[in-house]
Amino acid sequence: MMVLGFLLHEKTPLLNDSFAGYLNTFVFQIALPTQLFKNLSESDFYTVWDGGVVVFCFAVSLLSILLMFGVSQMLRDRSQRAEFIQAGYRGSQALLGTAIMQNMYGEAGPLALVLIGAVPLYNVAAVVILTLMAPDGGHLDRKTLGKTVRGVATNPIILSIAIGLLWSLFKIPQPVIMQRAVSSLAATATPLGLLALGASIDPKKAAGCWKPAVVSSIFKLFVFAVLFLPLAVWLGWRGEVLTAVLLMLSSPTTVSCFSMARSMGHEGTISSSAVMLTTVCSAFSFTGWLYLLKTFALI
């Protein structure tokens, strides 16, 4: 589906930059939240909820951000550091992860817990890093912090997870007409999201800052999984939960890294290069991780 999106963007006028942008917005604000709500609202809350997974994902995400910050100090060009950090820790487990979980297990399941633990921190850290390390010497003020908090609180993915969990907790019935409408809308998330992701790949931009982009991509696809996946295994997680944790650790850099970097005064070259590199390479790296876990009978 990503290859098809790339070809439609490159070879036809059907999926141009403008349409791909609107498509991506629709998926993140409407289709994907609906899909997460559907999966959670139809589940047993006491079976789905695991506070340990949420705490683990938050802690690992924080350590990943701090590690990327430390490594970024080796870059001579200070203007590249913020993009380098964000591209290295911020993955697309919401979109690509949901697609993979559905293909493997039929539903997103524990991925929602991973998103609760990681996504709010991802967004707050991105705003802080991109602001403080802006090329023009930015600074955090009350207005920026307030906007960040509101952005996290009104994030469609976080809201859909919260509503889905509450729906499951109180076992609220859904009328048939609602079930069918939600199911139809949720079914559009994966194919449309993958098409938009493929259309966003731009090989020409990858040559701009290839060295920091390659290093951040290595961290995103391999280093964090090597560091933290054994800990998840030691904690006793297997199957769907371990796959969801793996998605957090080694999913490709999210497309929103580029748009956020550009909107906050950064060039965006490292971000777009990392998105392209990690998205293409993840087809092989993630398959390798799954093969390894399958070989050791962990999933």
pLDDT in tens, 77-107: 888 899 999 999 999 888 888 888 888 888 7
Place of tokens 């952005």: 151
User: H helices of 27-92, where?
Assistant: 32-41, 45-48, 51-72, 81-89
Domain 2-293 fold is Na+/H+ antiporter like fold (1.20.1530)
pLDDT in tens, 12-56: 999 998 898 888 889 888 998 898 898 888 888 888 889 999 999
Which backbone phi and psi does 91 adopt, to 5 degrees?
A: -100, 170
First to last CA, the chain: 25
Compute CA distances 147 → 124, 143, 144, 236, whole Å. 10, 6, 5, 38
Give the angle subtended at the CA of 31 by the CAs of 27 and 36, to the nearest 5°: 115
285's tokens: 């790296």
Domain ranges within the chain, ordered by starting residue: 2-293
- Give pTM, 2 decimals: 0.83
